[in-house]
Amino acid sequence: MADFTAPTQDQLLAMQVCAGIGELARNDRFSAATPDLIEAIAEGIAAFAAGEWAPLNRIGDIEGARLADGVVTLPDGFAQAYAAYVEQGWNGIAAPAEFGGQGLPFTLATQVLESLGAANLAFTLLPILTTGAIEALQHHGSEEQKALYLPRLISGEWSGTMNLTEPQAGSDVGALRTTAMPIGPDEFEGRHAGKYRISGQKIFITWGEHELAENIVHLVLARTPGAPEGSRGISLFIVPKYLVSEDGSLGERNDLVCTGIEHKLGIHASPTCVMSYGDNGQCIGELVGRENEGLRAMFTMMNNARINVASQGVQIAERAAQQALAYARERIQSPRAGSADKHPVAIVEHPDVRRMLLRMRALTEGARALLYYTTGQVDRGRLADRAAAQRAELLVPLAKAWCTDTGIEVASLNIQIHGGMGYIEETGAAQLYRDARIPPIYEGTNGIQAADLVTRKLGMEQGGVLAGLMDEIVREAGDVTALAGLARGCARIGHWMVEEASLDDRLAGSVPFCTMCAVAVAGSQLLRQSRAVAAGAAPALAALKPVTARYFLEHVVPEAAGLEAAATAGAELLYSLSTDQLTA
């Protein structure tokens, strides 16, 4: 696989133009985010990712995580690379300063994870889950829980997980059966009074067991006695691998074990665990927040994770584009069509290969622009900007769904450019395609993201949040008529869905509508970038950015506009066959 170089210049441009990080730094909370510091972090993580994590990407795929006697091990080099990550302080970029973090914008933390994930997607799932646990405890934990757990989670000495899924439940979290029984003062010699015995099994737990961190803090959804049925009866618990004393020291091993790791299509270096809690009736958990409010706390963690999964789409696309560009320069095949010179040329000279390469670049940059526009709105929401917080809520499903779909398309084009060699594992192109297939599934499938868009998110302000965003895109589009037309189409469909469409009709059109909205936002952000570059920003991108933005606006945007018929077709055709007829 080609050497990895972090796309630092495009990241800096996206943070500046799309996230508006300079404006964020004018607020006291983010005043430390000076241009010099931002550039130093971007360049520092680029060097770290290329030097420490990228070399482990291939061996991680070939050897993968392995389980023996309840212990998961990783290939040689992972422990040393993670120790270096912790030592250099990369885990706490946006975490609260009072617990050892740097208190910088979420946008900057996203950039760190983007570079790491493009270097090694499977490995980067470890800090992604930890940052989600930090977010959940920061917003929903007690002061005692924050003081005990946050400093070591923020440093990376301890890692975190999210435990939702159970074998019988799948995406239906309300169907979970894991239980939490209160511990009385006479049990365990009174040491765990007020806590809970956790019992149950969870599946698909990312980095649920490993030896890279000193402790693993599992956040587990479970039911207490007498809890209401469904999602209203779910509570959240801290269940550490090793019990933690009041002074933060580690005690005995908790009654939990990894009973298996999944043999997956991709992300082989990320142990996807089957976790069993309380086999001996001794698993100790601690309630986060109040009983029956666990889903609210978990959604805080999940919202963070969904943005970071959107970033994974960008990460895969970036790595695949870099590999394709390198191969297209090196692979000599056939003379240029119509040329008087009949000597074979590098395939980058052939029109269709150029089309694919330019499409890969445009899609990757568009996805990155949408990602950082989303993180910028998240940061403003944390500064009590209610309109920005609502816009961020709207953008999350767009980013998660479209960026991860983009990762698949760009990884597929990488294989196509490699030709037959792309289908051979040794080139590494197949690994990227395999790895790309999971982000559209986990943290809520992309169909769930689209459903969320046309129900909860479209319902904000009776459709006004979406309408306001699309109106803004139309105004800024100016003479870019295709972009303005797409945004008007999105607004038109949104109005129809709010005022006229049935729930089935909205859901039937949700996926094409989600794509349309995401492309409209990405196109508007690329247009902003192109105009900024024309005005002197990012001189290193002066030649490239206008061309990639133009391709996106002239090719990708019209394609998305063509989805309007599918978005408004309704559900009638989908149910014109009976279930037996459809599945015969």
Cα three-residue angle 329-331-337, rounded to 5 degrees: 90
Which tokens in the block code for residue 448? 């769930």
> Which tokens hold the place of 176?
């979970």
Q: Which amino acid is at 368?
A: R
Catalytic site includes residue 252: no
Cβ atoms < 10 Å from Cβ of 122: 28
Q: Is 500 exposed, middle or buried (0-12, 13-18, 19+ CB in 10 A)?
A: exposed
**What letter represents residue 127's amino acid?**
P
- 113 touches 129 (CB < 8 A): no
**Residue holding tokens 């760009």?**
410
Single-letter amino acid code for the residue at 432: L
Q: Using CA atoms, how far apart are residues 570 and 509, in angstroms rounded to an integer?
A: 6
Orientation of helix 510-534 relative to helix 481-499, angle to 10°: 150
Backbone angles phi, psi at 258, to 5 degrees: -85, 115
Q: Which of 443, 461, 500, 554 is the catalytic position?
A: 443
Contact between 220 and 198 (Cβ < 8 Å): yes
Burial group, residue 2, by CB count within 10 angstroms (0-12, 13-18, 19+): middle
Amino acid identity for residue 422 in this structure: G
> Could you say which DSSP state residue 2 is in?
P
R_g of the chain computed on alpha carbons: 24
Which string of DSSP letters, residue by residue, matches 155-173?
HTSEEEEEE---TTTTT-G
DSSP letter at 454 equals I
Closest listed residue to residue 367, CA positions, set 565, 114, 22: 114
366 close to 406: Cβ distance less than 8 angstroms: yes
Nearest to 60 by CA among 431, 437, 327, 436: 431
Q: Could you give the 3-state DSSP secondary structure of residue 441?
A: coil
Helices (H), 500-540: 503-508, 510-534
Structure tokens at 78: 């992972």
Residue 11 in tokens: 């990241």
Q: Which structure tokens are listed for 501? A: 């469409």
Residue 265 DSSP SS3: coil
Residues belonging to the active site: 443
